[in-house]
Amino acid sequence: MTVSVERGIQTLKEHIDAPVASFFTTCVHCGMCADACLFYTETKDPKYTPIYKLKPMRRLWHQEYTFWGKLAAKLGLSKPVTAAELKEWEELVYDSCTMCGRCSMTCPVGNDIVYMIRKMREGMVAAGFAPEGLKAATKRAITIGSPMGVKLPALKNQIKHIETDTGLTIPVDVNGAEYMALLSSMEIMNFPEYIGAIAKIFHSAGISWTLASDAFEATNSGIQIGSSDLAAELVARVVAAAERLKVAYVISPECGHAYMALRWEGPNLIGRPFSFKVIHILELLDQLRAQNRLPVTGKIKEKLTLHDPCQIVRRGGVVDEPRRLLDMVAADFEEMEDHGVMNWCCGGGGGVSANERASKLKLTAFNRKRHQLEALGVNTLITACANCRITLEEGLEFNNMDVVVLGLAETLAEHLEQQTSSSATTATQ
């Protein structure tokens, strides 16, 4: 079994479903999606118009599933999709799309363009046209368990440091805990503060939680590269661990697509409902806030703004939670012009940050965020996605901008009221 154009086309045929057919039929060629895409707005290159990125798939739909298309193909008036064409489109489908979904929001006839990009990637993987960087990351995710190759000893090492720093125990493999937390490799390696932050907050709120030694990784490279088969395998690992530990909730970390992969795509990928609920860390923190279980003191005085991670906000619906949480610790919070569900992507989502070939384009696309930040004149930027954070830091450094990027959970943990009574401590036991 090897990848081939035929296999790719066969895969596309199986993924062209009723929504895709209706989207292609109703597209009015208005081009409004171009202005919604940061790869177009920052380059003004019309090939980055979102709907154009689907051209081979559109032609295939036309040839296979429409009367006139079939006729034209028979008469030789419309040429078949070729390897060269898919190769050419690889850059459009992977390098210049972060699957941020902003195009789907502006389409006047309601076509979900990003839904189709996701499907187009299925065909690209089967045809063998996925970026090397993303292939390697996915391979590591499947064989090692983490796209960055992080193994359990590395996590244990970080846990040891955090336990020393915080004086708290980081629970691992606790049977019957209420919440099972997931982490992204990026957090383990680059932002371990996150683990300490949730440990502190959960301890203070008296939440019983655990990590799973065999499924601590939240990121799902299968989703990014666009293979349901591989994505399902990664989801199944989390499901197995959650069911083994009999937890009621699985917490998606400050990572955008991990949330989307587990919460929205997850049950469909494994073909059955979960026995637990998936909750984003921001949703949980907001619940704690509402129950007065998240006491904070002091406010950040300098002006700051919030970068909305696309998959959490636009594709995930967690819009008000981060704002309510931020309100507790920020004295001078100002929104960017386009924010919430119409935010602009950092430029590194959807597998772009794992794809070295795309790094130059990614930095060009970052100009959108740069302009947004410059317009506000802030020096502090809060976000809730480790991948956004690393992309933002890279872009800021490249542009010599003096802006600090912080995770929302760790910002809250820093302002957490110090424990005075022992009531919370006993509750964790």
Partner 1 sequence: MVKPASLAEHLECHQVSRRGFLKFCALTTSMMALSPSMMPAVARALEKARRPSVIWLSFQECTGCTESLTRSHSPTIENLILNYLSLDYHHTLQAASGDAAERAREAAMSENYGQYILAVDGSIPVKDGGVYSTIAGVSNLEMLQHTVAGAAAVVAIGSCAAFGGLPHAHPNPTGAVPVQELVHDKPVVNVSGCPPIPVVISGVLAHYLTFGRIPDLDSYGRPLSFFGASIHDRCYRRPYYNKGLFAETFDDEGAKNGWCLFKLGCKGPTTYNACATAKWNQGTSFPIQSGHGCIGCSEPHFWDAGGFYQPLSAGIGSVGTLAGMAVVAGAAAGTAAGRLHQAKRKQAQRQHEKVTVADLEETDS
> Which is nearer to partner 1, 7 or 415 (by Cβ)?
7
The residue within the footprint of partner 1, chosen from 45, 132, 320, 417 (CB under 8 A), is: 132
Please, what is the minimum distance in Å from the beta carbon of residue 15 to partner 1?
8
Of positions 45, 165, 229, 320, contacts partner 1 by CB under 8 A: 229
Contact 339, 246 (CB under 8 A): no
The stretch near partner 1 (CB under 8 A) out of 1-9, 49-57, 195-203, 359-367 is 1-9
Window contacting partner 1 (CB under 8 A); options: 7-15, 268-276, 312-320, 394-402: 7-15
CA dihedral 353, 223, 174, 416 (to 10 degrees): 50
Q: Which stretch binds partner 1 (CB under 8 A): 72-80, 131-139, 295-303, 369-377?
A: 131-139
As a whole number of angstroms, the distance between CA 82 and CA 88 comes to: 10
Is 104 near partner 1 (CB under 8 A)? no
Could you tell me the smallest distance in angstroms from the CB atom of residue 1 to partner 1?
5
Cβ closest to partner 1, residue 136 vs residue 401? 136
Contact map string, positions 139 to 168, toward partner 1, x by CB under 8 A: x--xx-------------------------
Which one of residues 24, 36, 309, 351 is an interface residue with partner 1 (CB under 8 A)? 36
Choose one: 125-133, 153-161, 285-293, 404-412; the region binding partner 1 (CB under 8 A). Answer: 125-133
Please state the closest distance from residue 10 (CB atom) to partner 1, in A: 5
227 scored as a contact of partner 1 (CB under 8 A):
yes
Residue with Cβ nearer partner 1 (133 or 253):
133
Q: How far apart are CA 344 and CA 307, in angstroms?
A: 8
Neighbours of 93 (CB within 10 A): 23
Q: How far is the CB of 180 from partner 1 (least distance, A)?
A: 26
Q: CA 155 to CA 41: how far, in whole Å?
A: 40
Q: Single out the residue of 19, 22, 26, 35 in contact with partner 1 (rule: CB under 8 A).
A: 35
Q: Does 41 bind partner 1 (CB under 8 A)?
A: no
Nearer Cβ to partner 1, position 338 or 417? 338
**Dist CA 291 CA 390 (whole Å):** 32
Question: Residue 51 and residue 29: Cα distance in Å, rounded?
Answer: 9
The residue to which tokens 């939680």 are assigned? 209
Would you say 146 or 158 has its CB closer to partner 1? 146
Which residue stretch of 10-18, 194-202, 283-291, 397-405 sits at the interface with partner 1 (rule: CB under 8 A)?
10-18
- For 226, residues 6+ apart whose C-beta sits below 8 A from its C-beta are 118, 119, 120, 121, 122, 124, 125, 130
**1 lines the binding site for partner 1 (CB under 8 A):** yes
Provide the strand spans (E) within 211-263.
249-252
- Do residues 411 and 329 lie in contact, with contact meaning Cβ atoms separated by under 8 Å? yes
Given its phi and psi angles, is residue 336 left (phi above 0), alpha (psi -120 to 50 degrees) or beta? beta
Map residue 252 onto helix, strand or coil. Answer: strand
Would you give the binding string for partner 1 spanning residues 341-380, x where CB under 8 A is met?
-x--------------------------------------
**Using CB under 8 A, which of the segments 9-17, 109-117, 166-174, 400-408 binds partner 1?**
9-17
Cα(96)–Cα(84) distance, rounded to whole angstroms? 18
Cα separation, 212 vs 191, whole angstroms: 19
Site string for partner 1, 175-214 (x = CB under 8 A): ----------------------------------------
Question: What is the rounded distance in angstroms from the CA atom of residue 114 to the CA atom of residue 314?
Answer: 12
DSSP structure string for 135-188: HHHHHHHHHTSSTT---HHHHHHHHHHHHHHH-----BS-TT-SEEE-B-HHHH
Task: Say which amino acid occupies 328.
Answer: M
Asked if residue 203 lies in contact with residue 162, where contact means CB atoms within 8 angstroms, the answer is no
Under a CB-based contact definition with an 8 Å cutoff, are residues 281 and 251 in contact? Answer: yes
Q: Is 10 in the site for partner 1 (CB under 8 A)?
A: yes
Is residue 11 a contact residue for partner 1 (CB under 8 A)? yes
Q: Which of 96, 138, 158, 353 binds partner 1 (CB under 8 A)?
A: 138
Nearer to partner 1, 2 or 429 (CB): 2
d(CA 12, CA 335): 40
For partner 1, the binding residues (CB under 8 A) are: 1-3, 7, 10-11, 13-14, 16-17, 21, 32, 35-36, 64-65, 67, 106, 108, 125-126, 128-130, 132, 135-136, 138-139, 142-143, 225, 227-230, 338, 342
